[in-house]
Structure 1
Amino acid sequence: MLHKILKIVALILSVLGAIWLVRILLAGDTAITDSADLQSSLVTPIIYIAYVTIAIAIVFVLVFVLKNLFSSGSSLKSTLIGVGAFLAIVVISYVLASGEEVTMRDGEVVSASASRWIEAGIYMFYILALVAIGSMVFSGVKKLAK
């Protein structure tokens, strides 16, 4: 029953999205950028359709994750270990980041705090990329050893 309801909702959202996409394409870029009325009548509804779609997706992901998470104790433990490791990487990246006030080309200033978080995000990316590459190499070497 839930599968049928989801198929109907997906079909309705797809049709609405397609209708507004065609309307946007027929109106043209310059007409939309020049007219606030066209922006509100064409672009706003497709944005709301996107919001509804993402909200439905997030709700279902959370429901199924929580349902499977609490179905067995071992998955809860491994999930908490993974979340803890990720938070540890966030803390390490933030500590490594210096964060200085930066003046951009257009004259705006990025605060030291924002700059530090940006730098921490870059460090997190590097650390997580190294962990992913390392785990792939380790897995490949382990398979070759067998």
Structure 2
Amino acid sequence: MAEKPKPTPAFSAPAAGLAPVAGQVQETKRKAEVEGLTLDPAAASALLATVARLRERVDDLVVECADLDQPLKFGANFVGRTVADRLQHTASGGNSSVTPVLTAFSKVLADLQSVIQVASGRYLVTDEDAAKKLRTFMSPFGLEAR
């Protein structure tokens, strides 16, 4: 019986390419938090909407990737089995396959959202809004939120 060739990861370049991008996003986030990076609120809203749409689509693709881990049948010969193995490995076989790469990309997009929120001052606004809602909710009961 012929030896099966080891499948080559087709997504190793995109997976490796995400690491520097993720590092840059983390560095920018640190600068936003520590050094006071600011962003115009209107620009932040537009960017947040775009990034949210991208994350939603990537997250949908991650869910749909579960269907990729299926045995493929291209024939009962060496070539058919080799092609099937390589395609299945590319889809769901390890850290450089489709699902982990998309999951890592979703994390980078989530970090980017955080950077935009920090730079536009949205965290502070969100905290103030939550405190205001809590005070409004508690006031009929004679309670005071601090």
User: What is the TM-score of this pair, normalised by structure 1?
Assistant: 0.36
**Higher RCO structure (Cα 8 Å, ≥6 apart):** 2
Structure in which a larger fraction of residues adopt helix: 1
